[in-house]
Amino acid sequence: MPEQPPAPAGQTLIGSVQRAMRLLETVAGHEHGAPAKQLARETGLALPTAYHLLRTLVHEGYLYRDRGLFFLGTAAERLSSSGAAQKRRSTVVDSLAQWRDLIGVPVYYAMYRDGEIEVVCVSDTPANPAVQEWADFRETGHAHAIGQCLLSQLDESARRDHLSRYPARSITPYTVRDDHTLLRRLERMPRMQPVTERQEYALGTVCAAVPITVGATAATMALSLPAHQADRLLPAARQLQSEVGRRVGALALAISI
């Protein structure tokens, strides 16, 4: 076994925890399981110590025993799943930061989940700040590009269900004023094209959202600009859509969390 690095000055390492982790790592390396004696030998542990730790790990669900062989248990699999989810989320976070710097705009990632509009991640800078959420994003999907983009990806029944809970209402002089007008607008939207809105959610701000559909999941990447830069909105949206297209495979996996 490789020599363990010394503990940092002033810190005490828990030896039993270290030994248990070594056992878990060793079991993970045996797809078809391994007996206690082999695990003890490979980890350099005394057999009684290995037995004691293995029994504890089985009791806690990190391992299970079948016909004398030890395998990773459900608790260890949950840890692995959580780590994979974090890695997929970091893919989205890193992508947003890259596009933020490339295009010079705040970038947003949102999805429609369990009947709600959810802004999952926002990437901005002090020079290009994100839109202040002054009215609940979930309740004002009719007014902002993110919500309109997500609703455009739903079928009519799901749209009407959403509007029965969050009816359209005017929050700026430019906001669509009723459900009927919004539904007509959504029906006319070209599929998979950027959705734009100008000062419908926040005065002084224009926004665009790019639709991303993965299976039955509706998602979007969006951006915002000050109203005096409105001429940049559609070109920036097209650039974002192109960049999303380059990473659609990795994003599809992340969105499927």
Do 62 and 97 lie in one domain? The reply is: no
DSSP code of residue 237: H
pLDDT of amino acid 8: 42
% of the chain exceeding 70 in pLDDT = 85
Question: 27, 49, 72: which is the final residue of a domain?
Answer: 72
pLDDT of amino acid 253: 56
- Per-residue confidence band for 87, with pLDDT thresholds at 50, 70 and 90: low
Do 139 and 24 lie in one domain? The reply is: no
Structural domain boundaries, residue 124: 83-255
- Answer yes or no: is pLDDT of 82 > 90: no
CA distance 202 to 222: 15
Q: What is the pLDDT of residues 92-140, one digit of tens each?
A: 888 999 999 999 999 999 999 989 999 999 999 999 999 999 999 999 9
- Whether residue 77 lies inside any domain: the answer is no
* Amino acid in position 217: T
DSSP code of residue 190: P
Which range, of 154-163, 181-190, 197-206, 239-248, averages the lowest pLDDT?
A: 239-248
pTM of the model: 0.67
Do 40 and 94 lie in one domain? The reply is: no
pLDDT of amino acid 249: 65
pLDDT of amino acid 31: 79
**CATH number of the structural domain spanning residue 40:** 1.10.10.10
Do 21 and 110 lie in one domain? The reply is: no
Looking at every residue in the chain, the average pLDDT score rounds to 87
pLDDT of amino acid 81: 55
- Whether residue 8 lies inside any domain: the answer is no
**CATH number of the structural domain spanning residue 246:** 3.30.450.40
- Per-residue confidence band for 5, with pLDDT thresholds at 50, 70 and 90: very low
- Whether residue 161 lies inside any domain: the answer is yes
Question: 30, 46, 72: which is the final residue of a domain?
Answer: 72
CA distance 148 to 194: 10
Do 167 and 225 lie in one domain? The reply is: yes
Total domains in the fold of the chain: 2
Which run of H or E residues covers position 58? helix 47-59
